[in-house]
Amino acid sequence: MRDEYVGSATFADVAELRRFCGPIDETIQQELNRGAYNLDTVLDSKTRGELHRAVNSSLPVVDSLSADLTIEVEKGLSKLTFRMEETELEVDNPVGIWACRCDDPTESDCPIHTHPHGDAVFNTLTEDIIRVHYDGIDIWWVVTPSLFPLSRDPIYAYENLLADGIATANISSVLDIGCGTGFLGTSIAASNPNVEAVRFGDQLLMPVMISKLNQQRNNPDQSCYPALTDGFNAQIGWDHQPTKLADVCVCNPPYLPVADGEVKTEFSPGFVDSGLLEEVIRRGDDVADTVYLHISDLARSEAAEAAAEYNAELNVVGEKRTVPFRLTAALDSPTYVEHLLDCGLQERRADKYQYWHDLATYRIDYN
């Protein structure tokens, strides 16, 4: 079956990839909003065939690729350098990769918008193709609604995994589930010379294709197995899906806790959702030998409940960090903010940032 699809489906450029993925991701989002996810019933057979080819093809995802903006990220996120044509803009100790702070009422010195070329950089951050350079690898990030931007979370998670010895571990395969840009799987694979293959899974198509692109460009000698998945279950890709998917599974899932139905609908799926983190705790033991989960303490009760139910222990690896809460869209709803405060959001009225939370990477040990 697989051979039928291999050998075709390279997109001319990112614009073409975007045009292909956009409508499919919209359809998937609608399905997710309804609580269902069955592509066979919502996509016609021609689109399904193209989708199979795009995901399964071993050819490069795009023929031509160039970045409008490059962001160099120092280890520990101690500094960002934005480079664009003649412009260079440096930000020391940024609160995240999205470094504009204009939306923060307590902030008077947005490091982007106080710079003479700040507007140009900011406009690129909102609509173009961005290359993030970190620790010897290049992660391409296409600004598009269905692709979660590369953020500080996976960078902290990766650094925590390095502290836990991931770069020298005796592993030949990695699974990055809920992959987004694929930063976690790609960077682990680049760090460890024993790795031969990386699997990526995401419920949306653009993340799957961009993760494939990032793995192809950074680790061209390794195998890459992308799939559209619902949790660990492949909808498209991973033909003949084995029970054990990889030696190591990593996941930086959505971690904003679910409140009641009314609050939930104010956010898109994939934002306020604990389904993936629960799936990783529930099934991690079956799909990989070692399982890592990076979450905010805001999701600790969901995580603790799932861990108790599946006899799992969540053990912190690396450093637990208390950081400003930057998902500002979640702060628009006062009822949801109340809920977050109940879940452990820390309020520091006198501080430059009003809300803080704890981020940690856990190794899930099963008893």
Ligand X SMILES: C[S@@+](CC[C@H](N)C(=O)[O-])C[C@H]1O[C@@H](n2cnc3c(N)ncnc32)[C@H](O)[C@@H]1O
- Are 22 and 142 a contacting pair, CB within 8 Å? no
- Residue 314 CB partners (closer than 8 Å, separation 6+): 281, 293, 303, 304, 307, 362, 363, 364
For residues 262 and 334, the answer to whether their CB atoms sit within 8 Å is no
Closest CA to 340 of 351, 353, 356: 356
CA–CA dist 44, 168 (Å, integer): 46
Contact range with ligand X by CB under 6 A, out of 81-89, 105-113, 173-181, 309-317: 173-181
Distance of CA 70 to CAs 32, 59, 85, 128, 130, Å?
A: 33, 25, 10, 11, 6
Told to check if 183 binds ligand X by CB under 6 A, we report: yes
Of 179, 198, 272, 306, the one binding ligand X (CB under 6 A) is 179
Nearest to 150 by CA among 205, 216, 85, 211: 211
Identify whether the C-beta of residue 229 lies closer than 8 Å to the C-beta of residue 202.
yes
Is 156 among the residues that bind ligand X (CB under 6 A)? no
Site for ligand X in 250-269 (CB under 6 A): 252-254
Residue 204 contacts ligand X per CB under 6 A: yes
Q: Of the candidates 32, 45, 327, which has an alpha carbon nearest to the alpha carbon of residue 204?
A: 32
When the beta carbons of 211 and 354 are compared against ligand X, the nearer one is 211
CB of 181 to ligand X, least distance (A): 6
Quick check: 25 binds ligand X (CB under 6 A)? no
**CB closer to ligand X out of 118 and 231:** 231
Q: Indicate the residue type of 134.
A: Y
277 binds ligand X (CB under 6 A): no
Which of the ranges 51-59, 111-119, 146-154, 301-309 carries the binding residues for ligand X, by CB under 6 A? Answer: 146-154
CA distances from 170 to 121, 189, 192, 194, 248 (A): 41, 12, 9, 7, 10
Report, in Å, the least distance between residue 245 CB and ligand X: 13
**Contact residue for ligand X among 94, 118, 257, 275 (CB under 6 A):** 275
Residue from the set 191, 203, 216, 290 that interacts with ligand X by CB under 6 A? 203
Shortest separation between residue 151's beta carbon and ligand X, angstroms:
6
Task: Work out whether 178 is an interface residue with ligand X (CB under 6 A).
Answer: yes
Residue whose entry in the numeric block shows the structure tokens 């010895």: 165
Residue closer to ligand X by CB (options 120, 330) is 330
Under the criterion CB under 6 A, does residue 154 sit at the interface with ligand X? Answer: yes
Our finding on whether 222 is near ligand X (CB under 6 A) is: no
What residues are paired with 225 via a beta bridge?
199
Phi and psi torsions of 322, nearest 5°: -100, 120
β-bridge pairing 79-84 and 69-73: antiparallel
User: Is 122 a residue that touches ligand X (CB under 6 A)?
Assistant: no
Residue 85, SS3? Answer: coil
Name the phi and psi angles at 258, rounded to 5: -75, 135
Q: C-beta of 149: minimal distance to ligand X in Å? A: 8
Interacting span for ligand X (CB under 6 A) from 83-91, 159-167, 200-208, 235-243 = 200-208
Q: How far is the CB of 32 from ligand X (least distance, A)?
A: 8
Tell me which residues in 282-301 interact with ligand X (CB under 6 A): none
Interface with ligand X (CB under 6 A), residue from 24, 62, 175, 184: 184
Name the residue with the smallest CB distance to ligand X: 180
Does 118 sit near ligand X (CB under 6 A)?
no
Q: Tell me whether residue 31 or residue 202 sits nearer to ligand X (CB atom).
A: 202
Q: Contacts with ligand X: how many residues (CB under 6 A)?
A: 26
207 touches ligand X by CB under 6 A: yes
Select from 159, 230, 247, 302 the one that contacts ligand X (CB under 6 A).
230
Q: Report DSSP letters for 184-236, one per residue.
A: HHHHHHHH-TT--EEEEEESSHHHHHHHHHHHHHH-TTSEEEEEEEETTEEEE
Q: Which residues bind ligand X (CB under 6 A)?
A: 148, 150-151, 153-154, 178-181, 183-184, 201-204, 207, 229-231, 252-254, 270, 273, 275-276
